[in-house]
Structure 1
Amino acid sequence: MRHAFTLAAENRLPQSQSRDIGLPVRPLDLVARLGRWSAGRGPLYVLLAARLRRMIDDGELRPGDALPPDRTLAAALAVGRTTVVAAYDLLSQEGRIVRKQGSGTRVAPAAVPGGASMETSNPLFLHLLEPPDDVVLLTCASPNAMPKVVADAYAKVLSVQDGMGYYPAGHPALRRALAERYTRRGLPTSPEQILVTAGAQQALSLVARMLLTPGDRVLVEAPTYPGALEVFRESAAVLRSVPHTDADAFVRALQERPALAYLIPTHHNPTGDVLPALLRRRVAEAAVAAGVPVIDDEALADLGSGDLPPLAAFGRDDLLLTVGSLSKILWGGLRIGWVRAAEAVVARLARFKAVQDLGGEVFSQLAAAELVAGLEEHRERRVAELRERHDTLCAELTRLLPEWRFRPATGGQTVWVELPRGDGISFAQLALRHGVAVLPGGALDVTGGSTRCLRISFLATPEELTEAVRRLAAAWDAYGVPEPLAV
């Protein structure tokens, strides 16, 4: 997912570097490069958007390139104009193209020449791929150091010799440990109901691959975890969203029978909100009644007080799939996630996973099995540490940026902030130049809303958070209200 960040004039590409971008793309040339774009399954506009998205992501269409007008491209492709308009609108919502009256349709501009940038890539992933220098990163919400308990667990298992080492569904010891933990939480689970994955992100990708075909509708919250939106868009799904605070709207949307629904009921990303048990039951029962598979993302479930049951506690394991991870509670480098579902669903997912990697790395899984057994003690320490950092961030925001509006989070790792003016996209660009990276709200909202919002993580040390807010305040002092984003 790419976002069209509006830059101040002084940040645009130098003239010497811009001569080779912004070229018009001739309709017949584009048609030839599109290839057999319409050969897949699903609505034509979704297939066209998927092929154009891939061309933009792969660099075949460069930042600033002018795309043909919708009527012209429609005639060249022998499709209705509405097909091209809908495809362009979808890419515009993602921020991959910019549409402006009088200027036509262009591939979203890049902040720097020669590659992806914060303007043209999801900054959540960009800052992992290309970490900026001397910048306090408040974008990626994951622990920034390996805790000693993880190192100790690795040391304990490194001498283990374990057969061939291929376990497509996951090492039996870890599957057993995770099943026992769910059972202790009041959700009886067998090891055969657990598929171990390389983090929750791979779990989402596998489920999407199993359940989605191009053009399928996926129900999500707005805002929500941007990595999930990336996965669903990669599947060429059509995203339908409801406000994350409106459980009634979510239940009504389930009655429309989307192909899949995605929900973060425990310490919601990005707000930290928690869906009460009664509403969990309503959502679960509505999903079962409509026959809609639901992903219950519990990646952040351990990062707060209390322990509400997963949605699967209120319905069928074949429809209510639970995704979890150790990356947030322990360490991002411990690439351990999982899917809990019915045995038949897990067996099918395991076949998909076997094609990808034949199974995850064994020593990490053995270490994870050790860690899961003693996770509650570590969880208490981790939650106390996060609460201290959360309180530091909130206090500094209140002190230095009293205009900004936010609610303290009940759990999770991030605070959701609303700016009183301007937009999160252009401010995030300015903040980056002041040495702090934050995630603009538009990256998390498929409706195009949340444009005045920012997601700010509180995983850094109290000292780093204090410095980060100081830099944000300096950026805010320098921030003028920009022109509206072109859509």
Structure 2
Amino acid sequence: MERPVDVDPAWMKRVEDVASRLESSPVELAYRLVRASDTKLINMASGNPDPEIVPVKELSEIAMEVLSALGYEALVYPDAGGLEELRKEIRLYMAREGVSIPRDYDIVVTSGAQHAFRLLSEVLGSGRGDVHVICESPTFVETLAPLKLRSEVHGIPFESGRLDLDAMEDTLRALGPGRALIYLIPTCHNPMGVTMDEEDRRRVLELASEYEALVIEDEPYRAFSDSQPPALVTMDEERRVIYVSTLSKVLAPGLRIGWVAAPAEVAGVLTKLENYDITTSTLTQHVALEAFRSGLVDSTASELRDHYRNKRRVLEESLSEHMPPSVAWEPGGCGLFKLITARGFDAEQQLAEAIRRGVIYVPARKFFVPEGEEGSMRLSLGPPTPDEIAEGVRVLSELISERTGA
């Protein structure tokens, strides 16, 4: 058998440089463990929406209607930047959700929000050291990953559920004007579940203006919120905010429909870059278009508010009833997730034991910048039923109490 030829060392050095900046996702690890499990787990790890609320039947009918009406045209390569009719419907939908996209902004359809962030990282993060990303700590680890590949990242902590904007100002001042990109999940934060109030949003925009920073507003959970402060992009008067959203949480993640709303000149560059990989699907764009036109998106968004409010109530009550005093969390909130922190507990080390007992969560240490406490866990409200949420919390509380002596 011939010995394989080694890759040229010069090229391997480039590969290893990139590899050194790639991190394994704790979310993807949890997904793999769920798929590999021989027994049914109470899945408090997955970011998928509740299967009870995903309109599978309606989406199946729309898909068949699209294929019947368009035939071959539904299966061709996609238009750069997305179908024009879909972009118009997205703008209208955003307006119905209280998000007024400026007239001189264009919308670029992407293959989910994650694709949007990869494109933005290439456009805005020209090289490590040139651009610094300021983000909440904790934040969503998988969105942050592509930004970290091309930028230095600075985490801003929460204090009693509010982002420490004084610390943000100190960081901006230290970096100097024109060097920072502020990445925020201001509504139904992942993983905290908190929503930034209007006063703090206004101050973020003031800081961005003073220090010549851009802001990326990540809003996949706006439809989950009962009280929706104005979006940053709506409040912005200086074209500093780039807005990202998706149908993954409102409708279905497998459609891979996301979008970026950005100043026309930025959107134009994103469109050219998006056309390099052609990852968006013509078929699912047409399905999304008809889901908007038929009212399916709006009706599902309206239904999910009550649906997840009830599940969050069950989670809050179960945490209060079962968790020992060593476990902390922010009460209330909205969205799909809740972050809890158990003092003296190693969430990564104990994950295998939790799975053995029938529950899985996402260890959340890597959601922090820099990495946070070992006892941090993200709990999902998506797949588990209310009864499973209550049982999952009970099982986790027993495990935490046993391991910490609480």
Q: Aligned to 1:385, what secondary structure does the other structure show?
A: helix
Cα offsets for 1:182-214 (capped at 9, x unmatched): 344251445961000111111111101111112
Deviations 1:419-474 (A, max 9, x none): 13233332334323323221222120012224332111112211322332233234
**How far apart are residue 412 of structure 1 and its match?**
0.7
Distance in structure 2 (CA, Å) of the matches to 1:34 and 1:137: 41
| Mapped pair 1:269 → 2:214 | no
- Name the counterpart of 2:6: none
Amino acid of the structure 2 residue aligned with 1:448: E
Between the aligned partners of 2:404 and 2:208, the Cα distance in structure 1 is 46
Separation in 2 of the partners of 1:470 and 1:331?
30
Task: State the match for 1:200 in structure 2.
Answer: 113
| Deviation, structure 1 residue 297 | 0.3
Q: Give the TM-score taking structure 1 as reference length.
A: 0.70
Q: Distance in 1 between matches of 2:248 and 2:226?
A: 18
- Alignment deviations for residues 379-438 of structure 1 (CA, whole Å, 9 cap, x no partner): 221111111111222222222324322233321111111213233332334323323221
- Give the equivalent residue in structure 2 for 1:347: 268
- 1:174 and 2:86 matched: yes
Match of residue 446 from structure 1: 369
Judge conservation of contact 2:193–2:335 (CA < 8 Å) in 1. Answer: yes
| Aligned amino acid, residue 55 of structure 2 | P
Partner of 1:43: none
Alignment of 1:92-103 (within 5 A): none
The 1-side partners of 2:87 and 2:45 are apart by 31
Residue pairs, 1:295-310, within 5 angstroms: 295-310=216-231
AA aligned opposite 1:396? S
Select which of 244, 247, 251 maps to 2:165: 247
Matched, 1:51 2:34: no
Aligned pairs for 1:341-380 (under 5 A) are 341-357=262-278, 360-373=280-293, 374=295, 375-380=297-302
Q: Secondary structure at the match of 2:49?
A: coil
The alignment partner of 1:224 has SS state of coil
* Structural mapping, 1:12-411, within 5 Å: 36-37=13-14, 51=16, 54=19, 121-129=24-32, 131-133=35-37, 134=39, 135-145=41-51, 146-148=54-56, 149-161=58-70, 162=73, 164-184=76-96, 185=98, 187-189=100-102, 193-212=106-125, 213-215=127-129, 216-235=131-150, 237-244=151-158, 245-255=163-173, 256=175, 257=177, 258-316=179-237, 318-357=239-278, 360-373=280-293, 374=295, 375-403=297-325, 404-411=327-334
Matched residues, percent identical? 26
Is 2:134–2:181's contact at 8 Å kept on the other side of the alignment? yes
Against the structure 1 CA distance between its residues 206 and 317, is the aligned structure 2 distance closer, same or farther, given a 3 Å change threshold?
farther
Cα pair distance change 1:295/1:414, threshold 3 Å? same
Q: Once superposed, what is the RMSD of the aligned Cα atoms?
A: 2.8
In 2, the alpha carbon distance for the partners of 1:361 and 1:317 equals 33
- Following superposition, the deviation at residue 139 of structure 1 comes to 1.8
Contact in 1 for aligned 2:342/2:400 (Cα 8 Å): no
Q: What is the rounded CA distance, in whole Å, between the counterparts of 2:282 and 2:86 in structure 1?
A: 10
**Equivalent position amino acid for 1:463 in 2:** D
Paired residues of 1:199 and 1:335 also in contact (CA < 8 A): yes
Displacement of 1:128 = 3.3
CA deviations over 1:224-262 (Å, ceiling 9, x no partner): 011122112333x21111114212322443343434221
Partner of 2:386: 462
Equivalent pair of 2:324/2:401 in contact (CA under 8 Å): no
Question: What is the alpha-carbon distance in structure 2 between the residues aligned to residue 408 and residue 34 of structure 1?
Answer: 50
Letter matched to residue 151 of structure 1: S
Corresponding residue of 2:3: none
State the aligned residue count.
Answer: 376
5+ residue gaps, structure 1, are 1-31, 38-49, 58-93, 95-120, 482-487
Instruction: Specify whether residues 390 and 186 from structure 1 end up closer, same or farther in structure 2 by C-alpha distance, changes over 3 A only.
Output: closer
Q: Which amino acid aligns with 1:311?
A: L
Distance 1:470 1:242 in 2: 32
Q: Secondary structure in 2 aligned to 1:384? A: helix
Any idea what the Cα deviations from partners look like across 1:32-90, whole Å, max 9, x if unmatched? 688555xxxxxxxxxxxx93561696xxxxxxxxxxxxxxxxxxxxxxxxxxxxxxxxx
**1:437 maps to 2:360:** yes
Contact 1:182 1:189 in 2 (8 A): no
- The question of whether the paired residues in 1 share the 8 Å contact of 2:99 and 2:233 is answered with no
Contact 2:102 2:234 in 1 (8 A): no
1:424 aligns with 347
- Cα distance in 1 for partners of 2:67, 2:332 equals 39
The structure, 1 or 2, with the larger RCO (C-alpha pairs under 8 Å, 6+ apart) is 2
Larger Cα-atom Rg: 1
State the AA in 1 paired with 2:403. Y
Q: Distance in 2 between matches of 1:55 and 1:219?
A: 21
